Chains A and B, each alone.
Chain A
Amino acid sequence: MSEQDSAARFRFRARYVKHGRLAYLGHLELAHTIERVVRRAALPYAVTQGFSPHMRVGFTSALPVGTASDAEYFDVWLTDYVPADVALRRLSAAAPADMAPVELSYLDLRAPALTAEITRALYRVELTPARGDVDAASVSAALEQVIGQGSIPYVRGRKQKELDLETTLVSADCSPSDEGRIALDLDTRVSNEGSLRPEILIAALDRALCPAHEFEGPIVSSGIQDLYAFRRYSVCRTAQYVEDADGSLLSPLRAGETTSAPISVSSVPSL
């Protein structure tokens, strides 16, 4: 479809947050809201041609309901150039505060899609223990045990699945956090083969920490887990990265041919 969108002459990428109550929004709710923000900002967005014309826009992979984020991204294709600072200002004025766009830059029209480019996602999980014996040390031990098993079986819908920790989990660090909470920092790898949904790892930790409890059936991948070792938990995606050829991590805003200067119109291939 992109080749037909002759009006798409510029493309910017913006980072935005998903904070506070808005962590409870689902992916489609978030995507629709971003589109409405772009329209309210009156940016000259490009429209796809064809049967059902709509705004040309791209998003990062879905965050589960209840998961917050410091680093979500969207791409929008424009028909006319709007200076990055002006576009950012207009988007911010048109967005709910808890979904504010915070950074924006232009990139090559043909740069890969966000979902194709992003291969690393970092999460911070905050766990509120339900028992006195659950602390950073015991969670660390449980983590080692779960990682040692290599994978976590779970159910999504009617499908039996397996979360492969060897390919998806780069590192996991456990440390004491504020008010008796435990922080779990996860560095995960995202690919077509799969990604790590933190709540499945949390559910596995919960089971490891409650050996005496009779759990009914396998872990179910729903947005929210019923836990026993923890009273509450919160998850925040803290960063997403593009890995370049030598393995170093780049911001999706700085990846590839990204440039903060406007692409001159003459450099845009005529379509």
Chain B
Amino acid sequence: MRIAYENRFADIEPLLPRVEKPSRYIDHEWGTLSCPDADYRICMIYPDVYEVGLPNQGIAILYSVLNAQEGISCERGYVPWVDMADLMREAGVPLLSLEGAAPVASFDAVGLHIPHEMAVTNLLETLDLAGIPLRAADRGEDDPLVFAGGPSVYNPEPYAPFIDAILIGEGEEHLPQVCREHRELRDAGASRAEILRALADIPGTYVPSLYEVKTGEGCGPHGHAVPLDGAPEIVHKRVVADFGVTDPVPQSVVPFAQLVHDRLSIEVLRGCARGCRFCQAGMTYRPVRERTPDQIVSAVVSGLKRTGYDEVSLTSLSTTDHSCCASVLERLNRRLEDTGIRVSIPSQRLDSFGIDMAARVAGEKKGGLTFAPEAGSQRLRDIINKNVTEDDLERATRAAFEAGWRRCKLYFMMGLPGETDEDIVAIAELADRTYELAREVVPPAQRGGISVSVSCSVFIPKASTPFQWCAQTPDDEVKRRQQLLIHSVRNRAVRVHYHDADTSLLEAVLSRGGRDIAPLIEAAWRRGARFDAWTEQFDLSRWEEAATECGIDLRAVAQTPCDLDDPLPWDHISSGVSKGYLLREYRRALAGETTPDCTRTSCTGCGVCPTLNVSNVLVGERK
């Protein structure tokens, strides 16, 4: 018997006074949409705490489209912070949905969002707190179907055994289709196995239990998945061909709690074709689709009216690439004058146009600007296809300091393919030059406010990118290069931050491993690993012990390149970008050849448009 769908708020209420931020658990926010009487219920869960998960736009979109379906109710769930999780286990209270405060295990389906690899232990934490068997193979007829989806599904193998069906690509059409099919088959009395087999026929749906991992000669160190029972050879991602007809204001819930991103978000375009070779999102969100300026402006106005936010962010992978960015900002500034409402754009394009756009939204208050040159030398920027030149950089930073900004953060990656010590020293030189430029441009009286900092993360080779075959630079070597960077910066005023090499090692293991990694994840979680994305919660030693127990060498997984001729563990999942294109891009990288952006030149042959029968949709000429 499935556990009853009933309100159990009385079970957690006594725990609220004892936990940090009780507002994470109280629900009753403005704008919730679920309808408790529906005959099909799904609980969408973000695998982190409330204030990290609530701003997620993917869940906001799915929440809105699912609740608009006849007879389907979608509620939300988040992972209780460690204090609450421990109290709930002690008190024997299962994980509850937010709106109905009902046991998550009482739903027909549970949808797990996969924002990044480091969330995997929280998937297990979620399932365990909910009382759902961790492995799909151990679940019975009464257990909910466990779906997963989100940005980090292009190598789902490490967590595949924990999930019943993984939805690849954009979910706004796909997930309602899967839920309707599930409901129909459930009502017809189909078994769990029959339902899953049928779901695998819906394009974009990967049912891991229908794939066998083949290992041995020529299969690569982690094996590769082979379909059984007529499941598709390759699962292609789903994509919304006509982005313009989707609801531009899916966000409805206005939280009480102070969030990481506490604002209205309007997705102004989807996809990015700049083609940075390390960037998974740049490959997997293609093609590029822009909303029209009219749609954006009216979405901002109606969204603000409905939610009452005092900030609106125009989101996308590269908002300043929108062909009508300048006119949209101009119109919004006029509309929002004297309201105290701010407009923000998430990232700065590295040229003077980018600064011009940033200046339009900054008003009087100019905080810091972040630029991402990604690599220190032109040679390495050509390898990664970051198409900005030294001149672009200098013009952008000069324009920023002239426009009144005083704080500038430069973002780089370390351990990129082909990187040498000269490239690391070049990062330091670039930072020093930026600082000197600031001193030259900024009036003497204001020089005290100048701040230039460098933030350096560790390159992680990701599936579905031209660098998917690459090894991660060994962690000891990363640490040496971090020291080299610190000692190469001449100006003491330039601050250097770098990412923890331990976290990056694990992220690479989870990005590059196959289904053989699943026992490692489970063993690490059993040793207490959860909230691994939180620096203060992450502890590599749990993973190292788990690896020893499972007979896995973490460094071998992260630091061995893949053979170009072997099948990859994720070859059966496709973003629509062809493997041939990725390989061509990889070879061009090694040769230092760049590839242009197809929204500004002509088609570069990535394969997305013909494979998925879609095309770039631009509403104007891109500059």
Give the interface of A toward B (CB within 8 A). Answer: 7, 20-22, 24-26, 28-30, 32-33, 35-40, 42, 47-48, 50-55, 65-66, 94, 96, 98, 223-224, 232
Chain A residue nearest to B29 in the complex (CB): A96
Tell me whether A21 and B28 are in contact (CB under 8 A).
yes
Q: Which residues on the A side are within 8 Å of B540 (C-beta)?
A: none
Q: Are A48 and B17 in contact (CB under 8 A)?
A: no
Given A25-B26, A53-B363, A54-B340, 17 new contacts (CB under 8 A) = A20-B28, A21-B26, A22-B26, A24-B16, A24-B26, A29-B23, A29-B258, A32-B258, A35-B308, A36-B30, A37-B308, A39-B308, A47-B339, A48-B340, A55-B340, A96-B29, A232-B14
Q: Can you give 15 contacting A-B residue pairs, CB < 8 Å?
A: A25-B23, A25-B26, A28-B258, A29-B23, A32-B262, A33-B30, A36-B307, A38-B308, A39-B304, A47-B338, A50-B364, A52-B364, A53-B338, A54-B340, A98-B28
Tell me which of B13, B22, B306 has the highest count of chain A C-beta atoms within 10 A of its own C-beta: B22
CB contacts (< 8 Å) of B365 on chain A: these are 51-52
Min CB distance A31 to B, Å, is 10
Known contacts A21-B28, A22-B26, A47-B339; is-contact A224 B18 (Cβ 8 Å): yes
Residues of B within 8 A of A223 (CB): 17
Q: How far is the CB of B258 from chain A (nearest CB, A)?
A: 6
A47 surroundings in chain B (CB, below 8 A)? 338-340
Across the interface, do A39 and B310 meet the contact criterion of CB distance under 8 Å?
yes
Distance in angstroms between the alpha carbons of A38 and B307 in the assembled complex: 11
Q: Which of B342-364 contact A (CB under 8 A)?
A: 363-364
B9 proximity list for chain A (CB < 8 A): 21
Is the CB–CB distance between A21 and B27 below 8 Å? yes
Q: Within residues 1 to 54 of chain B, which ones have a CB less than 8 A from any CB in chain A?
A: 9, 13-14, 16-18, 22-23, 26-30
Chain B neighbourhood of A24, CB < 8 A: 16, 22-23, 26
Instruction: Tell me, in angstroms, the Cα distance from A96 to B30 when the chains sit together.
Output: 6
- Report whether A40 and B307 are in contact in the complex, using a CB–CB cutoff of 8 Å: yes
B305 in the interface (beta carbon within 8 A): yes
How near does chain B come to A27, taking the closest CB pair, in angstroms? 11
- B309 within 8 A of partner (CB): yes
* Docked CA distance A20–B27 (Å): 11
Bound Cα distance from A54 to B16, whole angstroms: 32
Q: Which residue of A lies closest to B24 (CB)?
A: A24
B257 contacts chain A at the CB level, 8 A cutoff: yes
B79 interface residue per 8 A CB criterion: no
B256 within 8 A of A: yes
Taking CB atoms, residues of chain B closer than 8 Å to A42 are 305
User: Which residues of the partner chain A approach B22 to less than 8 Å between Cβ atoms?
Assistant: 24, 65-66
A29-B257 contact, Cβ under 8 Å, with A7-B338, A54-B340: yes
Asked if B254 lies at the interface with its beta carbon under 8 angstroms from chain A, I say yes
Is there an interface contact between B23 and A40, defined as CB atoms closer than 8 Å?
Answer: no
Cβ of A30: which chain B residues have Cβ within 8 Å of it?
256
In whole angstroms, how far apart are the Cα atoms of A28 and B51 in the complex? 15
Give the docked Cα–Cα distance between A33 and B23 (Å): 13
Could you tell me the distance between the alpha carbons of A66 and B487 in the complex, rounded to whole angstroms? 51
B309 touches A26 (CB 8 A): no
With A22-B28, A39-B310 as known contacts, state yes or no: A66 contacts B340, CB within 8 Å.
no
Q: Which residue of B lies closest to A22 (CB)?
A: B28
Which of chain B's residues has its CB closest to A29's CB? B256
Residues of A within 8 A of B27 (CB): 21
Q: How far is the CB of B435 from chain A (nearest CB, A)?
A: 26
- Measured between C-beta atoms, what is the minimum distance from B69 to chain A in Å? 26
Q: Closest residue of chain A to B254, judged by CB?
A: A36
Residues from chain B with a CB closer than 8 A to the CB of A29 are: 23, 256-258
Q: Which residue of B lies closest to A232 (CB)?
A: B14
Considering the chains assembled together, what is the distance between the CA atoms of A50 and B363 in angstroms?
A: 10
Check A36/B17 contact, CB under 8 A, given A28-B258, A51-B365, A65-B22.
no
B310 and A33: CB pair below 8 A?
no
A26-B23, A51-B364, A66-B17 given; A40·B28 CB < 8 A: no
| 4 smallest beta-carbon distances between A and B, as pairs | A36-B308, A39-B308, A40-B308, A24-B22
A65 to B309, CA, bound (A): 23
A40-B306, A47-B339, A54-B310 given; A33·B364 CB < 8 A: no
CB distance from B102 to the nearest CB of A (A): 16
Which of A36, A53, A65 interacts with B340 by CB under 8 Å?
Answer: A53
Bound state CA distance, A224 and B13, in angstroms? 13
**C-alpha gap A33/B30 in the complex (Å):** 9
